[in-house]
Chain A
Amino acid sequence: MAKQYSADPEVIRNYAPNIMPKIPELLDKLEKSDWRKALKIIHDKHKMKVSTAADVGSALRNPEAGIERFTIDFMDFIARNDPELNSYTIQEISKIRTVDCTEIRSSLDLEGIILDSIETRSETFSRKELSQLHNILKNIYAHRSKRASSAINFFDQFLSSIDNIPESVRSKIIDHAYEISTRDAVPLQDRGKLLASYGNATERNLGVLGERIVRWSSDIVTSNKSVKELMEYFEDTHDYFNGDLETIAGGTPLSQVHGRLLAYVQALTGENIKIEKSETSDLYCSFSEDTFFLPFTVNVGKNDENNLQIYKAIASYQAGAFMFGTYDLDISQVNQKTAKRFGEEGNISNFFNSFDNPEFSQGLFELLEFSRLDYRLKEKFPGLREGIGNLKQHISKSKKSPSLLDRIKTIVCREDGNANPINNLEEIITPEINSLMIGGSTVERTVETVTRVYEKLSKKYNLAEEKLEEKIIDINVEIIERERDKKEASYLVAKPSDELTLGNRFKYDEWDESNNSYKPEFVQVVETPYPEVTDNDYVSRVLQQDREVIQRLRSIFETLSPEEFEVIKKQLSGEVDYDLLVGAIAEKASGITPSEKVYTREYKDQRSVTSMVLSENSGSLRKFLDIKNPDFRLIDIIKKSKIYFSEALDAIGDDYALAAFSGETEKNVEFHLLKDFGQSYDRDVKRNIGSIRPLKQNRDGAGIRHATSLLSKQPERLRMLFYLMEGLPHDFGYESEYAIEDTKKAIIESKQHGCLPIVIASGKNVNEGIRSLSEHCLYREVSDPKHVPLMLPDLYRRIAI
């Protein structure tokens, strides 16, 4: 027989300290009858706990903290809300939980869940929806199961999904969820999990289906799928029911144009970019790792071709971010006022956070950068104009009550960017957009513009609550940060480090152009292993990627190889020269004493050649080589050059060394021998090459002097010093003419020490100063650095062989 619980005054008195202080606030918030029900909820909750604890006494002495917490929350809730909502809340809690021994389920804080649910959603959800949600909760936990707590977790998951469902379809979705939770075929213990999966799948597909999600959901509810089938369906909708979704979604599905888009994006970026579906049908492209996420479907164009143009336009903005340097933000190129906002770490997050409303500043950055990219794209790819136009027309559709950023978005998306401003906002925004719409405009200009625009706007508008509801380009801030991190070790370091590297130290003079004299032993070069060398497969990847080129290179050098051997006839020993032998026998037969020199011998050519490939390893080598190919930078040219050179000389067997240098100040020029003379082109050397990365500054004179010192000690007669130069020499107190003149002196000294300096200057930063080196050495200037790797063995072949 069921045990009946009677009201116990002690229980409520026990919580009096939590209840009574709130009473003055509650008087106007509740009717008398509701107050009694509210106390009964607390009473019953306590009894529930007691009944499970089976120890009334101890429960009274040590009231369960959870119940106490709930009591406080409950009172606070009532105090905050109006009588109508309070009455409703009490009714909802009472509905879900009644103390009755026949129906004791668990001591979980269901009451708290209801409170939270109403608190969070009462303004956005209808009472009917909320009640239905609570009915669902009742359905999934109403059993005596140890899994009750997990059922609650599943309900929570479902709630977080449902929160993202638009109001227009939410009610239906909740009703469907209720039906799922009452399906007879679903075992009680599985209801929670099924519900959570349903919520998750609904949320996921919403981005694709929009309001058509109702049809999808309705089909599910009325289907005869088993629990297992439903679970699989919810958890892996894309793979299982792709067709269903696309059919419901309409428009042009990504799958239909995937191949064409992939080719387009890869061609545009020059990278092996992948394309995936995003979970929304919003018209923008996000980027993560090596993947562009594009809308599952586009259904705004007139036809499939029109939609494809829009797809292309969407992808182009993200590709444009790579091509036009969005992710290559260089703070040293930003004006001082804006640079300060990046903080000491030079962090773009700091930049956004330096404004009152970081969310607004980031939104503004994305809009202005969109504007810049838009111009650059149309300038470079006129064919994109139509797609871009359609896209912008769609995304700028005005909303009922647009936020400030939405209004800016409309201005940004206007195709007639130069139109005369017609209101205050346009007066501020339009000139700034126009300032970005110039050829060669950079992301650095965009951040400066953000600073300026934000300051102007903040004088006229309250920016505190403003945010951007829908993006038009998603700029991955993490990637900008990552690039910043890479720069940290290089030229972005504001002050030279005082730390000296361990290793053998060498002192060299440095030429002081202004005094027309050397500074004796002014520079210290520290010879040290390459820092932080790790196992890597860089060389093998290059060999694989460029196998055709390298094989050709090796075969060329291998074909050169025989030329190094000379067959010398008429020797006293060696291989028999049958021609001579026949002659000797004939002479002997004719009575002439024949010569004994009937042998031939092969002698190695006496070419006496050695070489060193020296490169500076400054931070500037991290620059993109080709905007379309962000993963291929100047540093990769250096690495490839050393690989090509090594492969070539390995084929011919000549000795050589590979070296790089970088450093900070005259006290610490680090010189790394990647491959020493006499060392074979082995695994260690390959690891070293693979580990090369942009480091600090480049004090070229010191690097060349030390290389000369090492090279000049080699016994070979021809000692070639290949110096790969990118841009101007630069170190603390070492720049401009001073640096150029010292480098020139070092090259002259190298020559004086019996070396043959060969300078290969590449890139767009080659100036007259660098060119002036050509007076003192073999000098090659390469406008496209990609040619450097092949140029190096070619020069070697021409000079040495």
Chain B
Amino acid sequence: MKRLETVVRDIGIDERDKKLVIQTFKEYKKLKHQSRADSNDSQYKEVQDQTFFDIYSSIYNSGPLAEDNTRRGLFVEALSGVVSLSPSTTYVNRLKYSGTNACIALLGLKKEGKKIEKDPKKDPIPNRALSLWANSFGHLKHNWAGKNMPEKLGRYLRISIDHLGNYHPSHEYVLQSISTRGAIFGIEDFMFDLAKENELDEKTASKYFTTLRKIPIRSREILESIRKRIPKKNSQDVNNCLYSLLSKSRENKSSISSLISLLAHVDRYLPDQESGEAILSNEPHLTSVIETDNNAMESLEKNTQEILAWGNFVESSGLLSHYLEVAETISRLEDDDSNKSSYRDLSTEIFKDYYRRNEDLPKHKDVQDKCYHAIESISSLELFPRSLAIDLTTSAAKKLKRSIRLDREEYSLPLDSLVEIVVNSISINADKANDFLGYVIKYR
């Protein structure tokens, strides 16, 4: 094996790039590689290294790179970044989204060594963008230290090819943000899509970037999986809707992870073709909840999941939006957050009481009215009796099984009726009501 300096010289690397290329090759040689059982490990490694050098020189010396020192520099810089980030040779030269492939694609080269476009004006990706991309590896390296590096690198390379290969000027702002402000791992696609779809300028893109960066890491994958299943026709609207909700959440300090979980429930329980519509149609309710009750989302997420699961069971369309409409109304109440949370729980249970079987499904409006009536009667009580009513009703809802409450036709006791009993009793004699009702619920 020749010395690396010799190799570098032999393959015609400029003096200017030489240092970085040698460093790249050195690091490449250190990379782990996949051995074959039937071949000598060291021999195979040598062949592989040689191949990498050959490809490297071939790209470096051919097409527009040969005549464009800037691009050569970007190539050297990018591949150095790739190699330095790669945990094994695989991510440099074998995968579809390997660093080399990415470089070839982005620099306008073909894998087979075909000529690249000589006219820079026809070049699909401006050097400025490529430079930002190449620089991003450095920032990425800093931010990515940690586990799952291979997957992360692979995904970033894929995103690079997908989005830069389909270049839009707004991408530059995205890349700029990434390269200068660090990774937004997991939601780069979302950022690129938003930028392109809305043709964001630098300032707006920056704002978007800031918003998206607030998405907790664990929620980003969920968000992307939601986006993936949205039919193309809704895609742009849904992206904007999602961004809007995220943005409002951020502004109002509402739980973004709960919001995304809620949306994930919508995505999971509704058919693909309906989930996008559902997200769009319920945006006003959700926005209103976020804006008026920034603590609501956590309980609303849990309740929404129950309602969706229930709605799925009884095959009742429109259940979600009617429920969220009630939730929105509750959020607007002037009451303690904890009380409002109880009202939402109560409404959820009332919905579940009435949507129990596919046959004889009630009118949505009627069930909403029952919720409103129940909440109104509780909230009309003074402070102490109100909390007593909430306590008794909540306990009853938890402890009295639905099957027992409702399965006896003659003595059916849905929660709204129970609320009425509780409120009536409290109005008559709060102390005794607490005792009488509480004793039935908590009998010891």
Question: Are B425 and A24 in touch, CB under 8 angstroms?
Answer: yes
List of 6 A-B pairs having minimum Cβ-Cβ separation, nearest first: A12-B443, A17-B413, A24-B424, A17-B411, A9-B443, A27-B432
- Is B425's CB under 8 angstroms from A16's CB? no
Q: Which of A21, A28, A39 contacts B443 (CB 8 A)?
A: A39
How far is A11 from B400 in the complex, measured between Cα atoms in Å?
A: 11
**Which of the residues A16, A19, A28, A39 comes within 8 Å of B429, measured between beta carbons?**
A28
Complex partner residue of A13 from B417, B424, B432, B440, CB under 8 angstroms: B440
A142 to chain B, nearest CB (A): 28
Give 6 A-B pairs besides A13-B440, A13-B443 with Cβ atoms closer than 8 angstroms.
A17-B405, A17-B412, A21-B413, A32-B432, A35-B435, A68-B411
Shortest beta-carbon distance, B404 to chain A, in Å?
A: 6
* Contact among A14, A24, A27, A39 for B404, CB-based, below 8 A: A14
Q: Is A709 an interface residue (CB 8 A)?
A: no
List of B residues within 8 angstroms of A21 by Cβ? 411, 413, 417, 421
Question: In chain B between 395 and 428, which residues have their CB closer than 8 angstroms to a CB of chain A?
Answer: 396, 399-401, 404-405, 408, 411-413, 417-418, 421, 424-425, 428
Q: State whether A39 and B400 are in contact (beta carbons under 8 Å apart), knowing that A17-B412, A27-B433 are contacts in the complex.
A: no
- B309 is an interface residue with CB less than 8 A from chain A: no
Contacts A9-B443, A43-B443; A20 near B435 (Cβ below 8 A): no
Name the distance in Å between A597's Cβ and chain B's nearest Cβ: 113
- Tell me, yes or no, whether B278 is within 8 Å of chain A by CB: no
Any B CB within 8 A of the CB of A739: no
Alpha-carbon gap, A340 to B399, bound state (A): 65
Which residues of the other chain, A, contact B404 by a CB distance below 8 angstroms?
A: 13-14, 16-17
Tell me the bound Cα distance from A26 to B433 in angstroms: 10
Return the chain A residue nearest B429 by Cβ: A27
Given A13-B399, A13-B401, A17-B411, the answer on whether A23 and B433 have CB atoms closer than 8 Å is yes
Contact bitstring A364-404, B, C-beta under 8 A = 1, else 0:
00000000000000000000000000000000000000000
A228 to chain B, nearest CB (A): 49
Determine whether B442 belongs to the interface, using a CB cutoff of 8 Å to chain A: yes
Q: Do A23 and B436 form a contact, CB below 8 Å, given A13-B443, A39-B443?
A: yes
Partner pick for A20 among B408, B413, B429, B442, CB 8 A cutoff: B413
Contact A9 B444 (CB under 8 A): yes
Known A-B contacts A13-B400, A13-B401, A27-B428; A20 and B443 likewise in contact (beta carbons under 8 Å): no
Contact A39 B439 (CB under 8 A): yes
A65–B251 Cα distance when bound, in Å, is 58
B401 to chain A, nearest CB (A): 7
Query: In whole angstroms, how far apart are the Cα atoms of A27 and B422 in the complex?
Result: 12
Closest to B411 in A: A17
> Per-residue 0/1 for A762-779: is the Cβ within 8 Å of any B Cβ (1 yes, 0 no)?
000000000000000000
**Residues in B whose Cβ lies below 8 Å from that of A19:** 440
User: How many angstroms from the CA of A11 to the CA of B440 in the assembled complex?
Assistant: 10
Residues of B within 8 A of A7 (CB): 443-444
Contacts of B399 in A (CB 8 A): 9, 13
Query: Do residues B443 and A26 form an inter-chain contact, with CB atoms below 8 A?
Result: no
| Sampled A-B contacts (12; CB under 8 Å) | A9-B443, A9-B444, A12-B439, A13-B440, A16-B396, A16-B441, A17-B411, A23-B433, A23-B436, A24-B425, A27-B425, A32-B436
| Shortest distance between the CB of A234 and any CB in chain B (Å) | 44
Q: How far is the CA of A36 from the CA of B421 in the complex (A)?
A: 19
A contact residues vs B (CB 8 Å cutoff): 7-9, 11-14, 16-21, 23-24, 26-28, 30, 32, 35-36, 39, 43, 68, 72
Docked pose: A8 CA to B443 CA in angstroms: 7
- The answer to whether B441 touches A13 (Cβ under 8 A) is yes
A68 to B405: give the CA distance in the assembly, Å: 13
Which residues from A are CB-within-8-Å of B401? 13
Please state if A23 and B421 are interface contacts (CB–CB under 8 Å): yes
C-alpha spacing A478/B88, complex, angstroms:
114
**In chain A, what residue has the closest Cβ to B423?**
A24
- A30 to B418: give the CA distance in the assembly, Å: 20
Distance of A72 Cα from B411 Cα, bound (Å): 10
CB-based contact A35/B436 at 8 Å: yes
User: Closest residue of chain A to B427, judged by CB?
Assistant: A24
A contact residues around B432 at 8 Å (CB): 27, 32
- The dominant DSSP class at the A interface is helix
Q: B413 and A24: CB pair below 8 A?
A: no
Instruction: Decide yes or no whether B437 CB sits under 8 A from chain A.
Output: yes
A13 to B443 alpha-carbon distance, docked (Å): 8
B154 CB to nearest chain A CB (Å):
56
Once bound together, how far apart are the Cα atoms of A18 and B428, in whole Å? 20
Residues of chain A lying within 8 A (CB to CB) of residue B396 = 16, 20
A28 surroundings in chain B (CB, below 8 A): 428-429
CB of A370, distance to nearest CB on chain B (Å): 52
**Which residues in A have their C-beta under 8 angstroms from that of B408?**
17, 68
Query: Contacting A36 at CB < 8 Å: which of B411, B412, B439?
Result: B439
A329 → chain B, closest Cβ, in Å?
Answer: 50
A60 CB to closest chain B CB, in angstroms? 9
Distance between Cα atoms of A452 and B417 in the complex (Å): 56
Contacts of B436 in A (CB 8 A): 23, 26-27, 30, 32, 35
Contact with A along B378-406 (1 / 0, CB 8 A): 00000000000000000010011100110
User: Min CB distance, B432 to chain A, in Å?
Assistant: 5
Known: A17-B408, A32-B432, A39-B443. A23 touches B400 (CB 8 A): no
- Complex: how many Å from CA A661 to CA B419? 82
Q: Complex: how many Å from CA A17 to CA B440?
A: 10
**Highest count of chain B CB atoms <10 Å: which of A16, A35, A39:** A16
Q: Is B442's CB under 8 angstroms from A9's CB?
A: yes
Alpha-carbon gap, A179 to B403, bound state (A): 50
For the complex, what is the distance from the CA of A135 to the CA of B411, rounded to whole Å?
34
B440, A24: Cβ atoms closer than 8 Å: no
CA distance A335 to B349 in the complex (A): 72
**Which residues from chain B contact A17 at a C-beta distance below 8 Å?**
404-405, 408, 411-413
CA distance A30 to B435 in the complex (A): 11
With A13-B404, A14-B404 known to touch, is A20 a contact of B439 (CB < 8 Å)?
no
B437 partner residues in chain A, CB cutoff 8 A: 20, 23
A9 to B439, CA, bound (A): 9
Contact A20 B428 (CB under 8 A): no
Q: How far is the CB of B325 from chain A (nearest CB, A)?
A: 29
Complex CA–CA separation, A161 to B408 (angstroms): 39
Q: What distance in Å separates the Cβ of A58 from its nearest Cβ neighbour in chain B?
A: 14
Query: Smallest distance from the beta carbon of B83 to chain A beta carbons, Å?
Result: 68
Assess the A20–B440 pair: CB atoms within 8 A: yes
Which one of A17, A35, A39 has the greatest number of beta carbons of chain B within 10 Å?
A17
B411 interface neighbour in A18, A27, A32, Cβ under 8 Å:
A18
Compute how far the CA of A498 lies from the CA of B408 in the bound complex, rounded to whole angstroms: 59
Q: Which B residues are in CB contact (< 8 Å) with A20? A: 396, 413, 418, 421, 437, 440
CB distance from B394 to the nearest CB of A (A): 15
| B106 to A: closest C-beta gap in Å | 68
Q: In the complex, how many angstroms separate the beta carbon of B435 from the nearest chain A beta carbon?
A: 5
Evaluate contact between B421 and A16: CB separation under 8 angstroms: no
Q: Is the CB of A24 within 8 A of B421?
A: yes
Chain B: minimal CB distance from A83 (Å): 12
CB distance from B184 to the nearest CB of A (A): 52
A72 CB contacts on chain B under 8 angstroms: 411
Chain B, Cβ-Cβ closest to A40: B443
Q: How far is it, in angstroms, between the C-alpha of A16 and the C-alpha of B437 when the chains are bound?
A: 9
A82 to chain B, nearest CB (A): 16
Most central of B404, B405, B413, B421 by chain A CB within 10 Å: B404
User: B420 to chain A: closest CB distance in Å?
Assistant: 9
- Contact call B425/A23, Cβ cutoff below 8 A: yes
Cross-chain contact A16 with B400 (CB below 8 angstroms): yes
CB distance from A22 to the nearest CB of B (A): 9
B58 to chain A, nearest CB (A): 78
Q: List chain B residues, Cβ under 8 A from A8.
A: 443
Q: What is the CA–CA distance of A28 and B424 in the complex, to the nearest angstrom?
A: 13
Determine how close the nearest CB of chain B comes to the CB of A385; give it in whole angstroms.
66
A residues near B425, Cβ cutoff 8 Å: 23-24, 27
- Encoded as 1 (CB less than 8 Å from any A CB) or 0, chain B from 52 to 72 comes to 000000000000000000000
Instruction: Note all chain B residues with C-beta closer than 8 A to A13.
Output: 399-401, 404, 440-441, 443
